Structure 1
Amino acid sequence: MSLLALDSRWRRLHDPDWVSPKSGRSFGGLIDIGYDHPDPWPHGDLQGSGQEILEIGEDKLSADLCRCDGLRFVRAMLALPIRGSDEAVQFAVWAHLADADFYRYLDDATGETPGFEGCAAWLMNDIPDYESETPLEGALIAGGAQERPRLSLNDGPLAEAQKAGITFDALLDLYAATGNDIRPDL
């Protein structure tokens, strides 16, 4: 049994049969957070466009790949473990790769040249409470078949949160800061 099982908010978050009397919402577990595009992308949301691929001049955005101002990005998962549990909240973020690494990743993903194991990468989305003036450096780690790669940061507060985890209250604050304040429902 996890320590968080003692927290009634944690139990309600994980109980698919529990319905909030305030909003009628139920959750059934952690809510992952996704970013539609890398922060430098200036052309609006892919999801709101109604298209599978959004192309503006030389810039191009799909659900997993992006080219913007000559830079190349891939969608990756960044996990923050929740202290007192064996779970982690997953962020679907964008990572910038050097051109050669991007093409090696793409060749592996399409099956043309398998064997991509990872490369240097830079986080291109600001996570609330972990914002940075410059992109955070890390490593892109290849995922399994049909899985997005993972992003592991090298240093700084967000890298420390990846290693040590965050509290449940910090998670609720992150949800609120990303537009999904569930605190009143728990």
Structure 2
Amino acid sequence: MSLLALDARWRRLHDEARACPCCGRQFSGLIDFAFAQPDAWPHAEPTPGMPEIVAGEDRLSPDLCRIGEDRFLSALLSLNVRGSDEEVHFALWVAVAPKTFYAYLDAATGDGPAFEGGAGWLMNDLPGFESDEPLPCTLLPGAEGERPRIRLADGPLAALQADGIGFDPLLDLYAALGDDIRPHLAAD
């Protein structure tokens, strides 16, 4: 049993049969979050069901982006949740060199060897972890069929990757991302 199993809010978050008494919302565990585009994307935001946005030479799909000469990949930043054996995942955009971009594309389409990863720069800010400059990172190959993984070298997000995130700070992060689930977990 994990330490978090003692927290009623944690149990409510993982109880698929439970409905929030105020609104009926149901949960089935941790909520992963995806940024739809790099912060630098200057065009309209994607909408559900729109597989690709094309604006002149710029392109945005759920996994790939091109803005002018810049190339971006969507990758996963994973954080262990302290007191549990679970991870929460954030799909963030990483600027990469064209060589890395096309190596990933070739691997994904079967036209090249497996993606080996590469250097990049984190191009989305998680609330509370904003940076004036893009954060350098390393992309690691993901499991078969998964996005690459983000590994940060230093800074507060790198510390979270190493040490994990507490449940209350995770709930605060969800709220800052626009989904405050705290009231829905408060009581039966």
Q: Per the shorter chain, which TM-score range? A: over 0.9
Q: Report the Cα offset of residue 101 of structure 1.
A: 1.2
The equivalent of 2:23 in structure 1 is 23
Q: What residue is the counterpart of 2:10 in the other structure?
A: 10
For structure 1, list consecutive stretches of 5 or more residues without a partner in the other structure.
none
Deviation at 1:106, TM superposition (A): 1.2
Determine the C-alpha separation between the residues in 1 that align with 2:73 and 2:18. Answer: 37
Partner AA of 1:73 in structure 2 = F
Determine what percentage of the aligned residue pairs are the same residue: 57
Aligned to 1:60: 59
Runs of at least 4 residues off by over 4 Å: none
- Residues 1-186 of structure 1: pairs in structure 2 closer than 5 A: 1-47=1-47, 50-186=49-185
Residue 93 of structure 1: how far off its partner (Å): 0.8
Deviation at 1:51, TM superposition (A): 2.5
Q: Which amino acid aligns with 1:41?
A: W
Q: 1:80, CA displacement in angstroms?
A: 1.2
CA deviation map 1:117-152 (0-9, x unaligned): 110011111011111011111110111221111111
Deviations 1:82-134 (A, max 9, x none): 11001111001111101111111111111111132110011111011111011
Deviation at 1:16, TM superposition (A): 0.4
Question: TM (normalized to structure 2)?
Answer: 0.95
Count of residue pairs the alignment pairs up: 185
Q: Look up the equivalent residue of 1:61 and give its one-letter code.
A: L
CA distance in 2 between counterparts of 1:2 and 1:117 reads 34
Return the alpha-carbon distance in structure 1 between the equivalents of residues 133 and 7 of structure 2: 37
